[in-house]
Structure 1
Amino acid sequence: MAVTLHRGDLPEGLSFGESVAVDTETMGLHPERDQLCVVQLSAGDGNAHIVQLDRGTYNAPRLRALMADPAILKIFHFARFDVAMLQRYLGVVTAPVYCTKIASKLVRTYTDRHGLKDLARELVNIDMSKQQQSSDWGAASLTDAQLSYAASDVLHLHEIKSVLDGMLAREGRTELARACFAFLPVRAALDLAGWPEEDIFAH
């Protein structure tokens, strides 16, 4: 496994193929208060690329173009949050997207454990460490432990997606999942516009 740190943006000419696993690290869970610090990516090849953003400018044109590229599927776990953060700080609508958490909730109805650690353990037999989850991602220099943690959040998403795709097909819920994924950028926009909790579809 190779973990490569990039400061500010992705390097020119880097390709992730037809799909890229994506995750973000932030200063907290409130988009209006807590800034986006790091975006990690993997092509599913066992390697990870970590972008430490310049929080003064958020000038990352190559990363922004990748997130908006309609030909490249972006695979997330809990995409609702990451898509909102990317929209808030990079000004980009990320699409198309796939969310392993939504897929899990649609097919793993036998459990209420839909965290990435749970999926990795059950579906691909990987035991992930969450030790650096609560960490200062706004630090000027990221530690090796932080980089390793950030990488682990994207290294297995392609494989998890593959297993979940089989389960979605088996349960006849593939099209329902696709509709949910397509709605995610709108769901993120609603969160940012002030409707994170209220169900606007309710009576």
Structure 2
Amino acid sequence: MASSPQAQPLLHDGDLPSGLDFGAVVAIDTEAMGLNPHRDRLCLVQLSAGDGTAHLVQIRPPRPDGGYADCPNLKALLTDPQTTKLMHFARFDVALLQHALKIDVTPIICTKIAARLVRTFTDRHGLAHLCRELLGIELLKQQQTSDWGAEILNKEQLAYAASDVLYLHALWAKLKALLEREDRMALAQACFDFLPTRAKLDILGYTDPDIFSHRA
């Protein structure tokens, strides 16, 4: 089993540089102070074109009025209808990005949804497990719960953050083949298309009660 290499991510302060080309599909992940988008601020956005390079945008703390410093290049990419955003557990990342940056993120592919649709013989659909099983790559997760709001992120944090996007293109290629084999690609696409709406429902508080639940 190969361990993930020590990536050398490119760290950007506040926004992406102008002129970067991520191609038709960009892998995206986020890091925040916690798992509640209403309470926990967005700290980092990771992106990769699947070329072995990760770009990390450090999002600065909110302004006194509660908003975030503007990041026009990042927002333009996230809202570009010609660029597909490839994520793992997109439901969280899309809700966080839409709430923090006041944008609509679309179109989307989610490798966790894809895995759940075709790997029904297991309940293990985390990114680390999928990379191990499908790619033979061992992701190191020790920094998962570290302080992402720090002014200066250490090299271990940066390497961990980069690893969450560096393998998504290869992982999607494996899962896409399985979706096609099991004739579930159309179903997966319908799920992906619904994700921005599902994220908006989450932000509005429709997780409990879930409006799709049979409960009165």
- TM-score interval w.r.t. the shorter chain? over 0.9
Structure 1 unaligned blocks of 5 or more: none
Work out whether 1:122 is the aligned partner of 2:133.
yes
SS of match in other structure, 2:70: coil
CA deviation digits over 1:174-199, x for unaligned, max 9?
Answer: 00000000000000000001112322
Q: Which residue of 2 aligns with 1:8?
A: 14
Give the TM-score of the pair, scaled to structure 2.
Answer: 0.92
Work out whether 1:174 is the aligned partner of 2:180.
no
Q: Check conservation: 1:58, 1:89, Cα contact below 8 A.
A: no
Amino acid at match of 2:19: G
Q: Which residue of 2 aligns with 1:23?
A: 29
Alignment partners' CA distance in 2, 1:139 and 1:199: 35
What RMSD, in angstroms, separates the aligned Cα atoms of the two structures? 0.9
Q: Which residue of 1 aligns with 2:98?
A: 87
SS of match in other structure, 1:92: coil
Work out whether 1:149 is the aligned partner of 2:160.
yes
Q: Identity over the aligned pairs, expressed in percent?
A: 58
Structure 2 unaligned blocks of 5 or more: 1-6, 63-67
SS of match in other structure, 1:9: coil
Give the TM-score of the pair, scaled to structure 1.
Answer: 0.98
Q: 1:69 to 1:143 in 2, by over 3 A?
A: same
Amino acid at match of 1:9: D
Q: Which residue of 2 aligns with 1:134?
A: 145
Alignment of 1:34-113 (within 5 A): 34-56=40-62, 57-113=68-124
* TM superposition shift of 1:17: 0.6
In the comparison of the two structures, how many residue pairs are matched? 203
